Structure 1
């Protein structure tokens, strides 16, 4: 148990959710202990979202190496419910400082990340948004799946700072959002709706190395749209303003034409089936051309985009309707 003097010296607590990616967590902790800030003035709280001895051992190793000069490291197990929002909540509620910094285990905070974030509170801010810098660009075709969201506007849980009383007043992050992107958007919208003073700290930089996306990554990502229904239910105006100005009617049209063609085929109506297939092919080709625009691509990437362009509309419609039913909201 830390004495009161030690607690008074801690200016900021860094919360790092972890989920078994030991190599990434080790890289993140290495960056955090090298901050251009007196190591006695901050602590690092690692919240293990998949509690295991390997993560505990890694954190214990870093704690033993920094026990003399700081910073203080602590390990917190999060047995459930799992998810980054739950891990962040468990972390900030055990933190000792009045200012909380959040990053992720796959991020690499720059050496002045903490110092720059703390300095921004001098302007009377309640929340400070740092900056992330991707080491490699995401595949453009994947980014076209969604309109720009809060992270493009400058808010991400990989680099943000809160006064603790702000999170206490909001009762933390909404743990129903089990994905960081949707949870970040929800928190950002809640801050805007509450009129919380937010400032930007571009020098609070976090490097975000992006691994090459797996083949067909867009098909795996599209299931996350289910949480957009909850986001829309909670913040309909801000959702339409900042995430998606209007429903993706083109996906509904493509899916409807596909169903029409299949119905015509099953009903033995070749003319109806032919018209449906022709219209479906035309709209799908247009979607494929939009995703290919401005891209240099290999034959394998071309094949991926062609295939996923055919599958994305029905999958998108399915997950959007699943979200609408799950959260009981009229969301198209």
Structure 2
């Protein structure tokens, strides 16, 4: 029996997360023969392929599960495209390997889709990010997914809508803004996006290394690409740009370096103002977050570094993608 729904999951060397996601998808209230699961590794990933072979040997359900690999690493957008193009279903559901779809998720999407069969349509579900106690800055940022309008962690598109838009834009080679680009593509093609709050996935916060927020700044280069491709919608949505105080902090450091050679009072003044802004930024991030000593130390250190790194990557993106984005 040909499945009506195809679930596509992009992954890369995260077998424990894939296993948790698969186990949740295998417990859906939708009949097992009604949907399929397609795992796509973003490039050669022997560990995930070995895991999938072992998992499939032990699996006793009737859901069709497939694992394919991209020949080279190209990013989650390319992996998802490979998945939906191989899919047999007329409704494509996207989720991430670190998500846990709740039992009725697929059924709720199918019920919402049924009145629109054979049309170009898209859907956005609900994301729950469980937080325990007082969160860290990283956990608080992850929780913003609960307010996201359209993300590939929990959305669905009819095959026709993906064919009309060409799928996800593969120029977005990191997990950042590729889902917003798809949202904007759908909007520009006048394809409706319908909210389905009953289609729920839980997105637990993954463990993060100390100072992860510095590494995360690299993704911001793709803000410039999104702005270039969808300027009107980017501005209309009031999407983020580097805060002006990032530029102020960066300029203060540069001025301090310039003054260091011939103007001691100027250097002292710039560094004093820089410390004031940096302290305010650290306090802003610590507000309503954990006050543990390691977290406080992380916030102070990263608050001194993030503005400069963020400005660098945003300007890098503007140059790389040849657009005026500041």
Fold-level similarity (TM above 0.5): yes
Deviations 1:81-125 (A, max 9, x none): 421111100011111111111111111111111101111113537
What residue is the counterpart of 2:131 in the other structure? 136
Q: Is the 8 A contact 2:43 2:73 kept in 1?
A: no
Deviations 1:215-270 (A, max 9, x none): 1111111111111110111122332343536652111111111111111002x211
Q: Does the alignment pair 1:328 with 2:322?
A: yes
Q: Is the 8 A contact 2:44 2:70 kept in 1?
A: yes
C-alpha distance in 2, partners of 1:143/1:66?
Answer: 33
Correspondences of 1:174-253 after superposition (within 5 Å) = 174-242=169-237, 244=239, 247-253=242-248
Gaps of 5+ in 1: 1-5
Of residues 157-166 and 122-131 in structure 1, the stretch that sits farther from structure 2 once superposed is 122-131
Deviations 1:149-193 (A, max 9, x none): 8x7233111111111011111111011112233111111122222
Q: Does the alignment pair 1:297 with 2:258?
A: no
- SS, match of residue 185 in structure 2: helix
Correspondences of 1:1-332 after superposition (within 5 Å) = 6-7=1-2, 10-64=3-57, 70-124=62-116, 126-136=121-131, 139=135, 141-142=137-138, 152-242=147-237, 244=239, 247-266=242-261, 268-332=262-326
**Cα RMSD over matched residues?**
2.3
C-alpha distance in 1, partners of 2:96/2:290?
Answer: 31
C-alpha distance in 1, partners of 2:304/2:44?
Answer: 40
C-alpha distance in 2, partners of 1:246/1:18?
Answer: 28
TM-score, scaled to structure 2: 0.90
Going from structure 1 to structure 2, the CA distance change for 1:186 and 1:215 (only over 3 Å counts) comes to same
Shift of 1:56: 2.7
C-alpha distance in 1, partners of 2:19/2:147?
Answer: 27
- SS, match of residue 202 in structure 1: strand
Deviations 1:124-149 (A, max 9, x none): 37111111211337956347889x78
> Number of residue pairs matched?
321
Gaps of 5+ in 2: none
Going from structure 1 to structure 2, the CA distance change for 1:250 and 1:244 (only over 3 Å counts) comes to farther
